[in-house]
Homo-oligomer: A and B are copies of this chain.
Amino acid sequence: MMNMINKLFASVALASILAGSVFAGGLLGFSASGLAQQTELEARFDKSLNAENLREWMRFLSARPHHVGSPKGKENAEFMRDLFRKWGYNAEIEQFDVLFPTPKTRILEMIAPERFTAKLAEPPVEGDATSGQTSEQLPTYNAFSADGDVTAPLVYVNYGIPRDYEELAKRGIDVKGKIVIARYGGSWRGIKPKVAAENGAVGCLIYSDPRDDGYYQGDVYPKGSWRNENGAQRGSVADMPVFPGDVLTPGIPATKDAKRLDRKSAPTITKIPVMPISYADALPLLKTLDGPVVPDGMRGALPITYHFGGGDGTRVHLKLEFNWDIKPAYDVIAKLPGSEFPDEWVIRGNHHDAWVNGADDPISGLVALLEEARAVGELAKAGWKPKRTIVYAAWDAEEPGLIGSTEWVEMHADELNKKAAVYINSDSNGRGFLGIGGSHTLESFANELGKSVPDPQTKLSVWERARANQMVNGSPAVRNELQSRPDMRIFALGSGSDYTPFLQHMGIASLNIGFGGEDGGGSYHSIYDSFEHYTRFGDRNFEYGIALAKVCGRAVTRFADADMLPFGFTSFADTVGVYVGEIVKLTDTMREETATMNKLIQSGMLTAAQDPTRVFVAPKPERPVPTLNFTPLQQALARLRESAARLDGALKERTLAPATQRELNAILMKAERDLLSESGLPKRPWFRHQIYAPGFYTGYGVKTIPGVREAIEQRDWIEAGRQIESVSGTLDRFSDTLDRAAKLAGR
């Protein structure tokens, strides 16, 4: 599901100074002799990688639609299980029984001021062999839309996020009882119907505007890669920021006999019917809207004047009915037991289900994982014995809501709590720049990974090239930081792929790794995400697939064999410091802006600046932003910095006895668990991580220190105070753990 995120990688990717020898300063967690062995292992690993495997597997796995519950989905799972077995793994399919709605009725028509019936279809295009497989394709729809049959006036709501409704309100436009049409972008799609329903809308259309995802960006398919006028973006709209996974079994595995919620009261199914449409279907509707002209910045690239509508001029009829079936989801789980520490698990996953053929999403990442697993299996067959257990996973049902991974995590929660040392995720992969997001306790480790893999297109390491990209295209703040900090900062994870249950529910340190930024977009969640599209516009020669296998193969084997688990805590403390600084600044900025705006409202100046011939409803003054007491957080941060520095120093300086190492590793692998809170985040207890969460109103986009940050954003000052206490306590517990570890290490 991760294409949008993958594009993000390009701008926030990992990168650095044109460094000398990568291993000059050693390798985190390895002794000198360990390093020599590891270097030799990686050379053999690299040598066995073969891009042709990726190509052939992509051809096979994307040959037919393979969504949840499809015959091809099952075939792919079994194919992969058999490959893993062939490569020497203990491989099994684990089945979960999950709610997976598919459309029964889809009607969208305009009934005034003129009649128009939307096509709701993506036609086959010449030169794209799989685009004609209409009998097996899922039609364009949003999974977990409610059933509904509504006829109402239409209102354009831009991206359909909260601040768009503020603009509507200023113009006296209410969406109550109306159908909204939002363009894709600006948030994860599931936010749009959620906010629309909160505002009283009775239906929601989401269309791909060519400004964000069509001819404005580049030539359209099949001439170029970009979405053509008939392309529509499928996708889940379940309220995943509340909880992901099967919508009927929050927090527990969706086994055959699990106790399920009643569908009618399942909280993450949308309250109103929602459907994605193409810009060819949206244009006739948008053209007829009247009312105020949409302000610059909220307009798309269709050749019309964008109006908000909202009057009775344009009326549409939307009818949606779904088959609310329970379908089997097949997770493929392959294990290579550890020789020394079988109860320390290194987990590596990528999903296998797609909305249609999914050559890019997710097969491009999956085939890299397969090739990596094959090469690891070969090393093992040749006698290498990883110290820790390696677990490869190909998740099903990621697209409808990270379901395969979430159910598996919920099924094995106790075991994972005890055994999981790290989770490494990938998803779509493309040509371009390395991007790594994840736990900042793994930031130094991640930087080492990037420095040791060559970029396929230049003579640089993938780390150096990503850094060059940021030095050239990054914001001034990013460029400054790059010049003053040896490591590149990895980005914080929100959501959008299978790391979420591991990191944010279980507190397992995680990384998400991929390349992108130079491949042509536009096929995301459409029938045109095909082998032909990918091999013309994606990573044509699969050289970045190989690069991904190299980066993740290093991550897996280093984690599996390191003497000391390669965590580092100074970077984490430094990053938390950045987040705390952001939040303090956010509060100050809100305070100033609120005061300024209140003054403009109360003095009448805001109204005086408006065109009196147009409707203008001045917003109500906001309560002044109080002075929040951030001291507990700043104290906890200060302590964290000290504890992290002490522990990192100890790990760096001393060679510890194996028994001590073992004891220390047991602490380190679980340290991230201390960043969870028992009760979870306000209104969404499933999300327990106190540092990283998807935003309640962004969906994919991360909110760091989410309890505090979102309370402030939502002007809930009492909750903000509570959350400052809670996070401070969490950080103190984490520091306790670091202190315990440092003591063990002799400090």
Query: Would you give the 0/1 interface string for A583-622, flagging 1 where the beta carbon is closer than 8 Å to chain B?
Result: 0000000000000100010011110110111000000000
Query: B609 contacts A216, CB within 8 Å?
Result: no
Query: A299 contacts B216, CB within 8 Å?
Result: yes
**Nearest B residue to A219, CB-CB:** B305
Query: B518 contacts A215, CB within 8 Å?
Result: no
- The answer to whether A606 and B472 touch (CB under 8 A), given A457-B612, A612-B457, A612-B458, is yes
Binds B, one of A87-95, A117-125, A460-468: A460-468
Query: A293 contacts B218, CB within 8 Å?
Result: yes
Query: B299 contacts A468, CB within 8 Å?
Result: no
The answer to the question of A129 belonging to the interface, with a C-beta cut-off of 8 Å to chain B, is no
Which of B224, B518, B600, B608 is in CB contact (< 8 Å) with A465?
B608
The answer to the question of A469 belonging to the interface, with a C-beta cut-off of 8 Å to chain B, is yes
The answer to the question of A301 belonging to the interface, with a C-beta cut-off of 8 Å to chain B, is yes
- The answer to whether A609 and B469 touch (CB under 8 A), given A220-B305, A299-B216, A303-B303, is yes
Query: A215 contacts B606, CB within 8 Å?
Result: no
Which of B215, B469, B611 is in CB contact (< 8 Å) with A305?
B215
The answer to the question of A471 belonging to the interface, with a C-beta cut-off of 8 Å to chain B, is yes
Question: A605: which B residues are within 8 A, CB to CB?
Answer: 18, 467-468, 471-472
Query: B216 contacts A305, CB within 8 Å?
Result: yes
CA distance A226 to B306 in the complex (A): 13
CA distance A304 to B210 in the complex (A): 9
The answer to the question of A302 belonging to the interface, with a C-beta cut-off of 8 Å to chain B, is yes
The answer to the question of A323 belonging to the interface, with a C-beta cut-off of 8 Å to chain B, is no
Question: A18: which B residues are within 8 A, CB to CB?
Answer: 603-605
The answer to the question of A473 belonging to the interface, with a C-beta cut-off of 8 Å to chain B, is yes
Query: B305 contacts A472, CB within 8 Å?
Result: no
Query: B215 contacts A303, CB within 8 Å?
Result: yes
Query: A460 contacts B216, CB within 8 Å?
Result: no
Query: A305 contacts B224, CB within 8 Å?
Result: yes
**Nearest B residue to A283, CB-CB:** B303
Question: A302: which B residues are within 8 A, CB to CB?
Answer: 303
Query: Would you give the 0/1 interface string for A210-223, flagging 1 where the beta carbon is closer than 8 Å to chain B?
Result: 10000111111000
Query: Would you give the 0/1 interface string for A454-485, flagging 1 where the beta carbon is closer than 8 Å to chain B?
Result: 00011010001101110111000001000000
Question: Chain B CB within 10 Å — which of A226, A305, A608, A613 has the most?
Answer: A608
Query: A472 contacts B224, CB within 8 Å?
Result: no
Question: A303: which B residues are within 8 A, CB to CB?
Answer: 210, 215, 301-303
- The answer to whether A464 and B220 touch (CB under 8 A), given A303-B301, A303-B302, is no
Question: A472: which B residues are within 8 A, CB to CB?
Answer: 600, 605-606, 609
Query: A608 contacts B464, CB within 8 Å?
Result: yes
Query: Would you give the 0/1 interface string for A511-524, flagging 1 where the beta carbon is closer than 8 Å to chain B?
Result: 00000001000000
A516–chain B nearest beta-carbon distance, Å:
12
Query: Would you give the 0/1 interface string for A326-344, flagging 1 where the beta carbon is closer than 8 Å to chain B?
Result: 0000000000000000000
**Nearest B residue to A220, CB-CB:** B305
Question: A600: which B residues are within 8 A, CB to CB?
Answer: 471-472
A-B contact pairs, 19 of them (CB 8 A): A18-B604, A18-B605, A216-B299, A217-B305, A218-B293, A218-B305, A219-B293, A224-B305, A303-B303, A432-B611, A458-B612, A460-B608, A465-B609, A467-B605, A469-B609, A472-B605, A472-B609, A473-B609, A479-B596
